């Protein structure tokens, strides 16, 4: 039986956070043997907000190298840069014409980003969920690994696929979400009711996967918890719940095991243990990235071959979509 196809992408807007790794990238690695995986650095999505061109190029290459350092194997998976595959932009326009204005206006992330980037509310910021749908549908992906905050965008992609299929005849696979049960959402270390974000103004709120061991442990020592002292998972204990979620994700232990391990110990001991466990988990990634990021020729070979493979797969779907809407064959 053919393997199901999974597609996911990540924006090249700086070094990945621990949240990116636990919630998404680490799971991509484990999916490679079970599924036919396509992974991309979505640089086209990145320009919905102002970018410095030279920095974007560097961040894109770093993101590509980081994915490989995290375990994405280019022999098993198709790993490419989004803008290198024209199919995404071509299908994007067709899907824009099958998307309702009202659907896009209800996107939570558009509302949030409009407040944050009030001086640059461009059309791309409004319509980028359609490009995200094109990313998925141009490969007829069966599954899309998504964080909890991306479920709305995947639902839109499903609606667009169903609407197109009803109007023009079956073409697109209606994608399903792949959401890991543990560690799907890592919260800020300083405001644990908020998602961990690389753009947080507080340097202690976010752990980056290239942070050295001392930095990682220092950030966890400063993590916000409640006024109690018992390591117990419970409602209203957002800070300690977040730390337990992180510790469980990097050690494989469930909450009961964690509670038993730290029975009689305070938050101080637990924070250090979490920091050390995270630092140990990230150490191989830092080492791999240091090697890969200096081998420009090898990286270019990998992303060129990845794009060529992605183009061959995607153009079959785009050509059919063009024919279905009535375009003359080129």
CA dist 259 and 234 (Å) reads 11
pLDDT tens, position by position, 265-294: 989 999 999 999 999 999 999 999 999 999
pLDDT tens, position by position, 115-138: 777 777 888 888 999 999 999 999
Q: pLDDT averaged over the chain?
A: 92
Between residues 71 and 200, the one the model is more confident about? 71
CA dist 204 and 211 (Å) reads 12
- Per-residue model confidence (pLDDT) at position 148: 66
Domains of the chain: 5-183+296-325 (3.40.50.620), 213-290 (1.10.240.10)
- Per-residue model confidence (pLDDT) at position 20: 87
Backbone angles phi, psi at 7, to 5 degrees: -130, 140
CA dist 70 and 48 (Å) reads 26
pLDDT tens, position by position, 161-171: 999 999 999 99
Mean pLDDT on 32-43:
95
CA dist 289 and 128 (Å) reads 30
Longest CA–CA span in the chain (Å) reads: 73
- Per-residue model confidence (pLDDT) at position 27: 82
Long-range Cβ contact pairs of 110-115 (< 8 A, separation 24 or more): 113/48, 113/49
Q: Using an 8 Å Cβ cutoff, are 245 and 183 in contact?
A: yes
- Per-residue model confidence (pLDDT) at position 129: 94
Token pair belonging to 97: 């014409």
- Per-residue model confidence (pLDDT) at position 96: 97
Work out the angle at residue 188's Cα, subtended by the Cα atoms of residues 187 and 194, and round it to the nearest 5 degrees. 70
pLDDT tens, position by position, 64-98: 999 999 999 999 999 999 999 999 999 999 999 99
pTM for the complete prediction?
0.90
- Per-residue model confidence (pLDDT) at position 28: 85
pLDDT exceeds cutoff 70 at 181: no
Mean pLDDT on 204-220:
96
Mean pLDDT on 178-194:
80
Q: Could you tell me the pLDDT band of residue 146, with boundaries at 50, 70 and 90?
A: confident
CA dist 54 and 45 (Å) reads 16
CA dist 8 and 35 (Å) reads 12
Mean pLDDT on 232-255:
93
pLDDT exceeds cutoff 80 at 149: no
pLDDT exceeds cutoff 60 at 264: yes
By annotation, the residues acting in catalysis are 113, 195, 198
Q: Could you tell me the pLDDT band of residue 308, with boundaries at 50, 70 and 90?
A: very high
pLDDT exceeds cutoff 70 at 105: yes
- Per-residue model confidence (pLDDT) at position 24: 81
Per DSSP, the residues of 67-78 read HHHTT--TTTSE
Residue 243's nearest CA partner among 273, 274, 264 is 274
CA dist 20 and 103 (Å) reads 27
């Amino acid at each position: 039986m053919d393997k199901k196809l999974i597609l996911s992408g990540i924006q090249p807007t700086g070094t990945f956070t621990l949240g990116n790794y636990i919630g998404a990238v680490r799971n991509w690695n484990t999916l490679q043997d079970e599924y036919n995986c396509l992974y991309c650095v979505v640089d086209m999505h990145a320009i919905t907000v102002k970018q410095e061109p030279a920095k974007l190029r560097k961040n894109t290459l770093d993101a590509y190298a980081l994915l490989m350092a995290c375990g994405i194997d280019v022999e098993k998976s198709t790993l490419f840069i989004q803008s290198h595959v024209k199919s995404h932009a071509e299908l994007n326009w067709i899907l824009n014409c099958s998307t309702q204005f009202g659907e896009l206006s209800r996107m939570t992330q558009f509302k949030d980003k409009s407040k944050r980037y009030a001086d640059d509310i461009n059309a791309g910021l409004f319509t980028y969920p359609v490009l995200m749908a094109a990313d998925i549908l141009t490969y007829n992906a069966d599954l899309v690994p998504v964080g909890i905050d991306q479920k709305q965008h995947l639902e839109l992609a499903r609606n667009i696929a169903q609407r197109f299929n009803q109007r023009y005849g079956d073409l697109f696979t209606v994608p399903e979400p792949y959401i890991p049960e543990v560690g799907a959402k890592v919260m800020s270390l300083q405001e644990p009711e908020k998602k961990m974000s690389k753009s947080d103004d507080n340097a202690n709120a976010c752990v980056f996967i290239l942070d050295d061991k001392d930095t990682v442990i220092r950030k966890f020592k400063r993590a916000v918890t409640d006024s109690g002292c018992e390591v117990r998972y419970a409602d209203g204990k957002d800070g300690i719940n977040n730390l337990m979620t992180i510790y469980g994700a990097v050690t494989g232990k469930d909450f009961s095991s964690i509670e038993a391990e730290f029975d009689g110990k305070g938050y101080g001991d637990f924070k250090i243990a979490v920091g050390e466990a995270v630092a140990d988990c990230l150490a191989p990634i830092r080492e791999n990235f240091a090697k890969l990021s200096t081998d420009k020729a090898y990286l270019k070979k990998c992303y060129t071959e990845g794009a060529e493979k992605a183009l061959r797969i995607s153009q079959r779907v785009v050509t059919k979509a063009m024919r279905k809407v009535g375009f003359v064959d080129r």
